[in-house]
Structure 1
Amino acid sequence: MSGFGLYLAFLIPPLLIGFLVQGWLKKTVAAQMQVRVANGMTGAEVARMILDRNGLHGVPVQAAPGGPLSDHYDPRKRTVNLSQGVYDGNAVASAAIAAHEVGHAIQHEKAYAPFRLRSAMFPAVSFASSAWIMLLIGGALLGLFGLVKIAIVLYAVVVLFQLVTLPVEFDASRRAKQQLHGLGLVSSGESKGVSNVLTAAAMTYVAGALAALSQLAYYALAFLGNRN
């Protein structure tokens, strides 16, 4: 197989999977944004109640400036940031996404080990994610195999970060469901919609990790496998 053929073999399947999963997520969220929760609570109110019931009164809930699916928990500022549609929305998807982000705040408070590991890795990953491609291209063009090896090691750090992210995201979804049901924030009829949203969101991280692993395997084979 040619180098380009090898690249396509490693690149195309994960890209297709990622595309399908992203489409599934957007479709699922859009559908559940049309289903109003029986209690009428907005995502911001759901997040606030879960935080308060878990003793996290000092963690603010604020509207994020980004668009749909920009929701996140910021461990540096200890804030729950919700996209406008989730913050103001009173749909099943709003409740599910808000509860998921609060799940990260609970992980932080309880010093959940994978969450702590991911946070500790973040500075190194920030550097590695921006530096590895420049080193790879520079090393390949200049014939400096040492730079290529460093680039691949840096990219491996990025991939490891994505793998560590998986249990963090799955656990946050587990906590979200537990809190939503335990506090009576969703009815039994709304549970399936919550699960659909959280499962689709979690699968985007699985697809991302698969794509990163596939790309790492390609670089390892292409640049390290032919040294003999």
Structure 2
Amino acid sequence: MYYGFDITYIFVIIGMLITLIASWRMKATFAKYERVASQSRLTGREVAERILRANGIYDVSVRPVSGRLTDHYDPRDKTVSLSEVIYGSTSVAAIAVAAHECGHAIQDNVGYVPLNLRSAFVPVANWGSRLSWPIICIGFLLGYGNMSNILIQIGIAMFLLAVIFQIITLPVEFDASRRALIELENNEILFDREDKSARKVLFAAAMTYVAAAATGVLQMLRLMLLFSGRSRRRN
């Protein structure tokens, strides 16, 4: 504490700024290239199907999903889900996003280890993100006893699991974008300078994952500092 202000809130503020900047850049970049029609005139669905077939992947289906930029690949049911603004759009942005999700399908097909690790980590990370803060809050409410410290340690450990998941996600996302750009070139889906535009869209999207991981690490550091200070006051 410094003149009544918790100095560790600086970590929270920095994390918020990083997240806001990354989110703004992603939305601005996508909005820009969402208005640029590709020369191939292929829709997001057609691009996804072409890339999957070119890689000999026939057990993955492409389907529309509600929402905006809710695109994802689910290795459990072998499905590339494309949002409304991607599935039927012929824009450069839509093509880049569709190719990225196919990049995940390719990762799954070749047994890309970081993707398998992330998939296995999902349930653990979900429990960690849901229960960490309630457990930490209960620990604080109990005062300075041993049970309080144990609960706080458990809460911080569970929060760490969620942070680890965000870090594991980074190589998976960057590799999917790398594969997407290769597929767009090999299958002659983009022309002239369109590949540079697609690269900008994918990079902006990747930065949102970097921001999420950085924010998680900062919050983890804040919790560790708060807990260490609490332990010193108890002693």
- Give the TM-score of the pair, scaled to structure 2: 0.94
Whether 2:158 is the aligned partner of 1:154: answer yes
Spell out the pairing of 1:211-222 with structure 2 (5 A cutoff).
211-222=215-226
Q: Using the alignment, how far apart are the partners of 2:215 and 2:117 within structure 1?
A: 22
Mapping of residues 17-32 of structure 1, within 5 Å: 17-32=18-33
Rounded to whole Å, the distance in 2 between the matches of 1:130 and 1:201 is: 25
Q: Deviations over 1:81-120 (max 9, x none)?
A: 0001100000000100000001001111111111111011
Q: Give the structure 2 partner of residue 138 of structure 1.
A: 138
Aligned to 2:92: 92
RMSD (CA atoms): 1.1
Residue 13 of structure 1 and its aligned partner are, at CA, apart by 1.2
How far has the Cα of 1:226 moved from its partner? 3.9
Work out the percentage of aligned pairs sharing the same amino acid: 42
Instruction: Provide Cα deviations, 1:26-65, integer angstroms capped at 9, x if missing partner.
Output: 0100110111110100000000000011111120000012
- Equivalences for 1:124-135 in 2 at 5 Å? 124-135=124-135
CA distance in 2, matches of 1:132, 1:124: 12
User: For residue 28 of structure 1, what is the amino acid of its counterpart?
Assistant: T
Alignment partners' CA distance in 1, 2:230 and 2:192: 57
Q: Corresponding residue for 1:53?
A: 54
Unaligned runs of 5+ in 2: none
Segment of structure 1 superposing worse, 218-227 or 41-50: 218-227
Partner Cα distance (1:6, 1:76) in 2: 44
1:165 matches 2:165: no
Please tell me whether Structure 1 or Structure 2 has the larger radius of gyration of its CA atoms.
2
Query: What secondary structure does 2:39 align onto?
Result: coil
Number of aligned residue pairs: 227
Q: Name the structure 2 match of 1:81.
A: 81
Per the TM alignment, residue 142 of structure 1 is displaced from its structure 2 partner at its CA by 1.1
Which residue of the partner structure matches residue 116 of structure 2? 116
Shift of residue 191 of structure 1?
A: 1.1
Structure 1 runs (4+) deviating above 3 angstroms are 1-4
User: Does the 8 Å CA contact 2:125/2:165 hold for their aligned counterparts?
Assistant: yes
SS at match of 2:171: helix
Q: Which moved more, 1:3-12 or 1:147-156?
A: 3-12
Match among 198, 201, 210 for residue 197 of structure 1: 201
Task: Find the aligned partners of 2:6 and 2:196 in 1 and give their Cα distance.
Answer: 42
TM-score (norm 1): 0.97
Match of 2:102 in 1: 102
Shift of 1:5: 2.8
Aligned counterpart in structure 1 of residue 178 of structure 2, from 151, 174, 177: 174
Any idea what the Cα deviations from partners look like across 1:114-140, whole Å, max 9, x if unmatched? 111101111111111111111011111
Give 3-state SS (helix, strand or coil) of 1:80's partner. strand
In the TM superposition, residue 169 of structure 1 has moved relative to its aligned partner by 0.3
